[in-house]
Amino acid sequence: MAKRDKIGVLDLQGGVHEHVYHLQALGINPVRVKEAHDLDDLAGLILPGGESTCLIRLLNIFGIAPKLKEAYADGMKIWGTCAGAILLSKEIENEQAQLGLMDIAISRNAFGFQVDSFNTKVEVPKVAKGEIDLTFIRAPKIKSVGSDVEVLLKIDDYIAAAETENCLATVFHPELTPSLAFHKYFVEKCGIAVTNGVNIMPDRTGWMKYARITSPNTK
């Protein structure tokens, strides 16, 4: 088995940069996975939120999907967020499964439209002490899990986070909140120590801070 000591983020479509920033805040310099050979030596891979049908199409076009499955079988762990969780699932309601690496049944866009997106705070004891910020954007719902899957978070009638020994699935977007808890949890799940003690994402300077907002009558 090859030595695996790096964390990667699939960089084909979706919320790539936010995951990269969160990992960098933990002291991790992630690999941006654009080609199959980028999977070499990865201890873990994050499949970001985005559009799952677009992501699986690109994974197949660029020949990454077969190598991803090989790397997974060789010990690489995978975390799917939102669309990434859909990619991982073995069953998608009214659709064909895609990568099918995790024994979960999922319902796409289960919360409705973009305007139905929301933020909340919850406790996930296995991941962190205290409450964690969560952001749901056109999120799927995990409706059921197999016997080898541990539920990390259940809200109302659906499962929001679950894991196996080698997979983590979250239907929300931890990368869109200041909390680093889930990223730290995944990095440590991959056997990589996080030593800098940072728990909250440092503030980033937004371009709007410097933008001059004008109207047609403003000079």
pTM: 0.86
Asked if residue 7 lies in contact with residue 39, where contact means CB atoms within 8 angstroms, the answer is no
pLDDT at 68: 97
pLDDT at 208: 32
CATH code for residues 6-209:
3.40.50.880
pLDDT at 210: 32
Residue 100 backbone dihedrals phi, psi, to 5 degrees:
65, 40
Active-site residue list: 82, 173, 175
pLDDT at 213: 32
Give me the residue spans of the domains in the chain.
6-209
pLDDT at 109: 67
pLDDT at 167: 98
- Beta pairing partners, 159: 142, 154
Q: What DSSP assignment string belongs to the chain?
A: -----EEEEE-SSSSHHHHHHHHHHTT---EEE-SGGGGTTEEEEEE-SS-HHHHHHHHHHTTHHHHHHHHHHTT-EEEEETHHHHHHEEEETTB--SS--EEEEEETTTT-SGGG-EEEEEE-TTT-SSEEEEEESS--EEEEE-TT-EEEEEETTEEEEEE-SSEEEESS-GGGSSB-HHHHHHHHHTT----S---BPPP---GGGT-----TT--
pLDDT at 49: 85
Asked if residue 80 lies in contact with residue 47, where contact means CB atoms within 8 angstroms, the answer is yes
How does pLDDT run along the chain (219 residues), one tens digit per residue? 557 789 999 999 888 999 999 999 999 999 999 999 999 999 999 999 888 889 999 999 999 999 999 999 999 999 999 999 999 999 998 888 899 999 999 987 656 555 456 678 889 999 999 999 888 877 789 999 999 999 999 988 889 999 999 999 999 999 988 899 999 999 999 999 998 777 776 655 433 333 333 333 322
* d(C-alpha 141, C-alpha 137), whole Å: 11
